[in-house]
Amino acid sequence: MKHVMKKSAASLVLVLVGYLAFWPVAVDPVAWHAPNNPGYSGDFSKNQQLSQIKRIELKGDIGPEDLALGKDGNVYFALLSGDIKFLDSTGQIQPWVNTGGRPLGIEFDQQGNLLVADAFKGLLSISPDGDITTLVDSVEGVAVNYADDVDIASNGMIYFSDASSKFHAKEYGTYGASLLDINEHGAHGRIIEYNPNTKISTVLVHDVNFANGVTLSHDEQYLLFVETGNYRVIRVALNGEQRGILDVVIHNLPSFPDNIARGSNGLYWIGLVSPRSKPLDMLSDSPNMRKVIQRLPELLRPKAQHYGHVIAINDTGDVVFNLQDPLGIYGHTTGALEVGDKLYVSSLHESALGVITNVTM
């Protein structure tokens, strides 16, 4: 009997080893060298400044991933349900439209249309009356399968990110697809320029490791974009002989950066959605072990941690504000929007908007 039990245990171990070593997974990881994580030190020293945040509960909705200020003075936000709602002047949440997809980045143009990077549908435009038009769902023969963020220049040119051309948001969910893409590190993201007059889309930057937030520089000579998988913000020149040239604005962030938006006084607000994953960093140059991680039960795989963190940088990448919430009052922070003396904060998973009023801009 003991012999049979030992044989069964050995067989089970062999099956488990075989599963962890050979079971097919969606990712085909690429070796790279993650930079040493500075952690919460220096410019990113731990504090509780964001813990003063107030929650504006959404009454059943979750995931207010991005924010935009309308010409009516209301703060609009995009939700996991596909809804886009707004916070009116009395502090009440009002319904507006549902895209039928997963709206992420949102930004108003000069005519009052809301441009939407919808992860399932591509680049959309929503008129003030709520009519929805698809502007871009394919670029250079490749479908836009994870539109992530958008910004509009004063000349009408539109810039948006397609986070991953391999891991489709509709198939895996926006969160699931992001985890797969970051694990693989295959540079499947791109930054796209759309001309609304000619209706022509052009890939401005290829081979981005999870292309996330985008924003025009204050002088509109550059587009800043977040490369989440490499923990950095990059700037690409838009005009003249320098067009297409890239340089790094800030790198080796202690967390996964998400959205980026212009603020006052030449600043840019960046949401840091989660502290970096020690296992993923340690195994960055071990593709086979990252496959093993993907074969583990979902509960055992690295995932976003519930931590609140937004920063503001200037054009040279200096950190001017470093606001953290280690208490978990408002976590999975994706970005921030200045409205007067208020800073509204968005989140990947929260069931509330966040707002803080005592930040000196």
- What local confidence, expressed as pLDDT, does residue 6 receive? 52
Q: How much is the pLDDT for 216?
A: 98
Domains contained in the chain, CATH given: 2-356 (2.120.10.30)
Answering whether pTM is above 0.75, one says yes
pLDDT for 133 equals: 98
DSSP collapsed to 3 states, 35-85: CCCCCCCHHHCCCCHHHHCEEEECCCCCCCCCEEECCCCCEEEECCCCEEE
Give dist(CA 116, CA 216) in Å, integer. 16
Tokens for 197?
Answer: 């007059």
Check residue 21 and give its pLDDT: 45
Q: What is the pLDDT of residue 147?
A: 98
| Contact indicator for 276, 256 with CB cutoff of 8 Å | yes
- Per the CB < 8 A criterion, the answer to whether 167 and 175 are in contact is no
Report the DSSP pairing between strands 246-250 and 232-237. Answer: antiparallel
Lookup result for tokens 């209301």: 74
Q: How high is the pLDDT of residue 221? A: 98
Q: Residues of the chain whose pLDDT is less than 70?
A: 1-24, 360-361
Q: What is the pLDDT of residue 3?
A: 56
> How do residues 185-243 score in pLDDT, each as one tens digit?
999 999 999 999 999 999 999 999 999 999 999 999 999 999 999 999 999 999 999 99
Dump strand ranges (E) for 196-307: 200-208, 211-216, 222-227, 232-237, 246-250, 255-262, 268-275
Q: In the prediction, which pLDDT does 14 show?
A: 37
| Gap between the Cα atoms of 100 and 92, Å rounded | 23
